[in-house]
Amino acid sequence: MERRYMPVVIFLAAITVGIIIMVVISVVQNKPLYQKYKYGIVLDAGSSHTSVFIYEWPAEKENNTGMVQQKHTCNVKGKGISSYSANPQGAGASLQECMNEAKQKIPAHRHPETPVYLGATVLDSVALSLKSYPFSYQGARIISGQEEGAFGWITVNYLSENLRKPTGTLGALDLGGASTQITFVPQQKIESSDNSIDFRLYGNNYHLYTHSFLCYGKDQALKLSMGKKLESTLKTDPIELRDPCFHPGYKVPRTVPDVFNTPCTKELKLANENFLHVGLGNWSQCQQSIRKVFNTSICSYSKCSFNGVFQPSVYGDFGAFSAFFFVMDFLNLTSDSLATTKEKLAAYCSTPWEKIVGNHPKIDQKYLSEYCFSATYILTLLEDGYKFTSNNWKDIRFIKKIGDSDAGWTLGYMLNLTNMIPAEAPDMPLMPYGGYVTFMFFFALLILVLLLLVYLYFHRSTRTAQKDII
């Protein structure tokens, strides 16, 4: 080979090597570009209702944070599955509509490998019904209050992408119909082992405080509170329950067993009489009456929330979801100071029932009549129970969803059962995205310059050759 072609060969070799390196890096960096999805189904059989959640995630990225998303949710018509205790077959049948929706939403070839989890009170007929669908039924489990709190915490922190960053985490506040949970990373020592839970996620250790108060969900708290008022009224005749937590003009006949029909109010004596539930619409009296369901006089630890339960001082930001959100959002009270919230609520509670119904003709009257009680209960629980103050009230974010996914325990539960959050941090891409783009840019630039040089060299050598001929 002529010596003058040597530089050309070297240039061409350099270009070839450069192109090969670029191709290899692109392939490694963008490997799972085509998206195949996998699915999981979780049934949340709560005290007041059942919901079916469908989650999806790219098949190749199971161990990456922020990847699992809620694809679809379906609310089962009717009440919670426990209301079917006299007709257990009915509970399974009630799921039919939502499970058929799941069949539609999930591609058929994925059905056999899609896990279905039921978090609830085990009911054989419900399990039997779920087995008849093409999905991979994983069995039913009773979720403990502690798990409800902990999985709710995992869900909100997974969705907020807090778990792989050194930034702080978000505490979780869940208010259901029967129970309520508080979960957060405390600043001080956890004095009771029942309230402590440890996780290792993506290489970080988390030491959480969690507690679940059974009977302090909003439906049971209403019964507790009405039960206490009724006890002192039972002797009057005719029985009239004058209730400051319901609007003036509200008047509904009820039976005493309606209030005492749950294990939460079992200790109160049962009578078989009718009474008239009469609203007074007095917010401060309402709060006084609600305070009576929290026992703050006993505590064998350095500090307690209520009923003798240890609780460190609340710390950091909190996401408050389920009924915390439903109620505060309906009343437009999600972004005011504590003082303004109280003022607005006092005005709302004293609004005549007739006017409330007139303003909201489409809202279910059971919910509508209870918003004054529910919001007053929420304020009292957060302030007197959990010890939030006017200073840290703004740290509570009332949320329904993060991105497209609902806040609640179901996502955290599925992530845990499918081992989708590893204890150790998963492998990172070859280089961070920004670095990758910069690298590719300069490499492309280098190749262009080389090409230009080759062109110039050839151009020159051809002209020299032409001159030589002449």
Ligand X SMILES: O=P(O)(O)OP(=O)(O)OP(=O)(O)OC[C@H]1O[C@@H](n2cnc3c(O)ncnc32)[C@H](O)[C@@H]1O
Known binding residues for ATP are 177-181
Query: Is residue 400 classed as helix, strand or coil in its secondary structure?
Result: coil
Q: Does 119 help bind Ca ion (rule: CB under 5 A)?
A: no
Token representation of residue 383: 């302030």
Q: How many residues bind Ca ion (CB under 5 A)?
A: 2
Task: Give 47 or 287: the residue with its C-beta nearer to ligand X.
Answer: 47
Backbone angles phi, psi at 434, to 5 degrees: -60, -45
Distance of CA 408 to the CA centre of its chain: 3
Q: Does 281 help bind Ca ion (rule: CB under 5 A)?
A: no
Establish whether the linkage from the previous residue to 253 is cis, with ω within 30° of 0.
no
37 binds, among Ca ion, ligand X, none (CB under 5 to 8 A by kind): none
Task: Give 46 or 92: the residue with its C-beta nearer to Ca ion.
Answer: 46
Shortest distance in whole angstroms from residue 335 CB to Ca ion: 24
DSSP string computed for 164-187: TSSS---EEEEE-SSEEEEEE--S
Shortest distance in whole angstroms from residue 130 CB to ligand X: 19
Q: What element of type H or E holds 460?
A: helix 433-469
Q: Does 176 help bind Ca ion (rule: CB under 5 A)?
A: yes
Task: Give 64 or 179: the residue with its C-beta nearer to ligand X.
Answer: 179
Token representation of residue 400: 């329904």
177 binds, among ligand X, Ca ion, none (CB under 5 to 8 A by kind): ligand X
Q: Is 62 one of the catalytic residues?
A: no
Q: Does 171 help bind Ca ion (rule: CB under 5 A)?
A: no
Binding residues for Ca ion restricted to 334-373, rule: CB under 5 A? none
Smallest Cα–Cα separation from 401: which of 329, 455, 350?
329
Shortest distance in whole angstroms from residue 246 CB to ligand X: 15
Token representation of residue 266: 């079992």
- Judged on CB neighbours under 10 Å (0-12, 13-18, 19+), 456 is exposed
79 binds, among Ca ion, ligand X, none (CB under 5 to 8 A by kind): none
323 binds, among ligand X, Ca ion, none (CB under 5 to 8 A by kind): ligand X
Task: Give 65 or 305: the residue with its C-beta nearer to ligand X.
Answer: 305
Q: Return the residue of 40, 41, 43, 46 that touches Ca ion, per CB under 5 A.
A: 46
Shortest distance in whole angstroms from residue 48 CB to ligand X: 3
Chain residues binding ligand X by CB under 6 A are 46-49, 80, 176-179, 217-219, 322-323, 326-327, 330, 367
DSSP letter (8 states) at residue 386: S
- Judged on CB neighbours under 10 Å (0-12, 13-18, 19+), 16 is exposed
Q: Segment near Ca ion (CB under 5 A), from 23-31, 39-47, 108-116, 303-311?
A: 39-47
Task: Give 176 or 248: the residue with its C-beta nearer to Ca ion.
Answer: 176
In 192-325, DSSP assigns E strands to 196-201, 204-214, 240-243, 251-255, 274-279, 318-322
Buried b (16+ CB within 10 A) or exposed e, 178-212: bbbbbbbbbeeebbeeebbbebebbebebebbbbb
Task: Give 315 or 326: the residue with its C-beta nearer to Ca ion.
Answer: 326
Annotated catalytic residue: which of 56, 147, 148, 370?
A: 148
Shortest distance in whole angstroms from residue 79 CB to ligand X: 9
Shortest distance in whole angstroms from residue 181 CB to ligand X: 8
Task: Give 114 or 179: the residue with its C-beta nearer to ligand X.
Answer: 179
User: Which positions make up the binding site?
Assistant: 177-181
- x/- contact string, 69-88, with Ca ion (CB under 5 A)? --------------------
178 binds, among Ca ion, ligand X, none (CB under 5 to 8 A by kind): ligand X
Cα-Cα-Cα-Cα dihedral sign, residues 291, 272, 232, 278: positive
Cα-Cα-Cα-Cα dihedral sign, residues 78, 81, 86, 87: positive
Q: What element of type H or E holds 139?
A: strand 136-141
217 binds, among ligand X, Ca ion, none (CB under 5 to 8 A by kind): ligand X
338 binds, among ligand X, Ca ion, none (CB under 5 to 8 A by kind): none
Shortest distance in whole angstroms from residue 322 CB to Ca ion: 6
- 411, 167 Cβ separation under 8 angstroms: no
385 binds, among ligand X, Ca ion, none (CB under 5 to 8 A by kind): none
Task: Give 65 or 180: the residue with its C-beta nearer to ligand X.
Answer: 180
Q: How far apart are CA 143 and CA 120, in angstroms?
A: 6
Alpha-carbon Rg for the chain, nearest whole angstrom, is 31
Smallest Cα–Cα separation from 321: which of 340, 311, 334?
334
Backbone angles phi, psi at 71, to 5 degrees: -95, -35
Q: Segment near Ca ion (CB under 5 A), from 6-14, 79-87, 176-184, 255-263?
A: 176-184
Shortest distance in whole angstroms from residue 106 CB to ligand X: 24
Residues contributing to the site for Ca ion (CB under 5 A): 46, 176
Please list the active-site residues.
148
